Amino acid sequence: MSDAVFMLDKGKLLSSLNRSYYAIFNAIRAVTLLDNFDSKKHKGVIAHFNQYYVKTKIFPPDTYKLIESAFKLRGYADYKDMYIADRQETQEQISNAEYLISIIKPYLLERWAEIEQEETLKMNAIFTRTSTRQFTPEKVESKYIIKIIRAAMAAPSACNQQPWEFWITDDPEIIARLSQSTPYATPAKNAPVVIVPCYRTNDLPAAPMAIIDMAMSAENILLEAEELGLGAVIIGIAPLEERMKAVGEILKLPENFKAFAIIPVGHPASKHPQEDRYEPSKVHTL
């Protein structure tokens, strides 16, 4: 804004109109960029801002008219031959820009704080996750299950073989049977949903590594559940053939698939802090 005021004081009205507009445009573009939208054309950014921030009443209704006016005058100033700017009009554009920035800046600060908090939660999930064995009766929304499975499939795997597929159930009868499939599966009994990561045994370029791939995928499930405010616990099945067979029979798995683990997921009935397990004596530097 200081450039626009400076140009006005120097009597360079066209340049002042240009600077006022860009102060406005850069402010609204900062808003759209925080929500991962950008456009090569100014009109695209302005239209998006109007659609998602003005019409939704995040910003006052007059905001769009002021932006459009600044865009038009900047077009005249930059591209219209023989256009003569009016000093009062130029001053009004500076005032409009200052007004728009004054209402956009608090939104940007608040939105940025939210993003920082989200990123902090993501970074801290690995240090806040604990095993959840008791759940509330509240159901887990399908949108959260999709996010959890997307996270599971984002895991690395040997030769990118991605051996995993996932059996998911909220059927009380199936969950009850799974909870009895091993001596340690009782936490599944009161879970609203259970995920069973399984892996195929055929067409794998690095078959002996599949079980390691599955471990990394299962860890992603636990971490994503934590990030979503849910709880989960991993109940080991592989590599014990007897348990893998029992779970496979309950789920009626195809012959070329084996169950890796049982992972109950739900809203935690309680939450406790994670232990600090860092031990410098176990770190060896060469």
CATH topology of domain 142-266: NADH Oxidase (3.40.109)
pLDDT digits (tens, 9 = 90+) for 87-101: 998 899 889 889 999
279 pLDDT exceeds 80?
yes
Q: Which CATH architecture has domain 2-125?
A: Up-down Bundle (1.20)
Share of the chain above pLDDT 70, in %: 98
CATH 1.20.120.330 placement within the chain = 2-125
123 pLDDT exceeds 70?
no
7 pLDDT exceeds 90?
no
Instruction: With cut-offs at 50, 70 and 90, classify the pLDDT of residue 142.
Output: very high
What are the tokens at 222? 């636990």
Element (H, E) at 29: helix 13-34
CATH 3.40.109.10 placement within the chain = 142-266
Q: What b/e string do you get for 178-204 counting C-beta neighbours within 10 Å, with b at 16 or more?
A: bbebbeebebbbbbbbbbbbbbbeeeb
Instruction: With cut-offs at 50, 70 and 90, classify the pLDDT of residue 122.
Output: low
- pTM of the shown model: 0.59
Residue 48: how many other CB atoms lie within 10 Å: 18
pLDDT digits (tens, 9 = 90+) for 62-77: 999 999 999 998 888 8
**Whether 98 contacts 244, CB under 8 Å:** no
